[in-house]
């Protein structure tokens, strides 16, 4: 299992939000390129970049993402507001190893199938979850779709993986939703990445024990609650 630092972009800066709430920004660093380089130097094997502005219809951080991808020395997965083929093409051309698709992949089954087959092994589908229901549009809307039903639909597609975010725990540093993650890992044919609330090495070990392929970490890393170097040493490959 690998640990993947999150580089969340808002207004040109690297930020961390509590619970995905724009009014609850806790961390702001004005040089995302330096942040990404530091995580790579620490020994993490992959980065997770999210364009929060694009995800919520507030603009985009396209130029910064291009710079981050061109500078990266490790594989990078990029998401946030990716809702058409041209965006996927552009991100891959700019150097992304994987593209994370969320809202449209949840809401448009035919598009999801078409894109997965057009970019086999390069798409990660994001299932953002609150109370076992998939949420969309930057966590603003809760669907009636049960996450396990959704994951089973994804098993037929040639994906790179599934990213499951426990929205109710995002940025809270209270531990992750282990029953949710275990159920998704058991249901999925593809590697599952966990996000939301991962706070300690014990959380990581518990996720690994339950069959997760990786975990995306944000707040715990940026606040120093979890030691980045120890994390990278144990979950860096």
Alpha carbon 53 to its chain's center? 15
pLDDT value at residue 142: 66
- Percentage of the chain beyond pLDDT 70 is 92
Average pLDDT over residues 102-113: 94
pLDDT value at residue 27: 86
Average pLDDT over residues 50-69: 94
Please tell me what DSSP assigns to residue 25: E
pLDDT value at residue 133: 85
Structure tokens at 210: 């339950």
Average pLDDT over residues 29-53: 96
Question: Which residues are CB-contacts of 46 (< 8 A; sequence separation ≥ 6)?
Answer: 2, 4, 74, 75, 76, 77, 97, 214
Structure tokens at 195: 């996000």
Q: Looking up tokens 């299992």, which residue turns up?
A: 1
Average pLDDT over residues 194-216: 95
Q: Report whether 92 contacts 118 (CB < 8 A).
A: no
Tally of CA atoms within 13 A in the half-sphere of 167 that contains its CB? 20
Which of 46, 144, 64 has its CA nearest to residue 100? 46
Tally of CA atoms within 13 A in the half-sphere of 110 that contains its CB? 0
pLDDT value at residue 234: 98
Give the pLDDT confidence of 65-104 residue by residue, as tens digits. Answer: 999 999 999 999 999 999 999 999 999 999 999 999 998 9
pLDDT value at residue 139: 56
pLDDT value at residue 57: 87
Cite the active site residues. Answer: 8, 128
pLDDT value at residue 22: 64
- Which H or E element spans position 13? strand 13-17
pLDDT value at residue 230: 97
**CATH architecture of the region 2-234:** Alpha-Beta Barrel (3.20)
Kindly tell me if the per-residue pLDDT of 191 is higher than 70.
yes
């Amino acid at each position: 299992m690998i640990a993947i630092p999150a580089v969340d972009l808002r207004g040109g800066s690297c930020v961390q939000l509590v619970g995905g709430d724009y009014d609850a920004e806790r961390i702001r660093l004005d040089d995302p390129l330096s942040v990404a380089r530091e995580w790579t130097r620490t020994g993490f094997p992959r980065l997770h970049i999210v364009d929060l502005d694009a995800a919520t219809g507030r603009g985009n951080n396209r130029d910064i993402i291009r710079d981050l991808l061109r500078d990266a020395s490790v594989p990078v997965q990029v998401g946030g507001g990716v809702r058409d083929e041209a965006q996927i093409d552009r991100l891959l051309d700019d150097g992304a190893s994987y593209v994370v698709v969320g809202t449209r992949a949840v809401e448009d089954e035919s598009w999801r199938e078409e894109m997965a087959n057009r970019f086999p092994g390069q798409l990660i589908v994001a299932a953002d979850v609150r109370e076992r229901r998939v949420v969309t549009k930057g966590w603003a809307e809760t669907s009636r779709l049960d996450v396990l039903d959704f994951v089973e639909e994804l098993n037929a597609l040639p994906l790179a993986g599934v990213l499951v975010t426990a929205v109710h725990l995002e940025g809270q540093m209270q531990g992750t939703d282990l029953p949710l993650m275990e159920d998704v890992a058991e249901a999925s044919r593809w590697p599952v990445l966990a996000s939301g609330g991962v706070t300690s090495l014990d959380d990581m070990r518990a996720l690994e024990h339950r069959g997760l392929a990786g975990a995306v970490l944000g707040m715990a890393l940026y606040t120093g609650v979890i030691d980045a170097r120890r994390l990278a040493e144990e979950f860096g490959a």
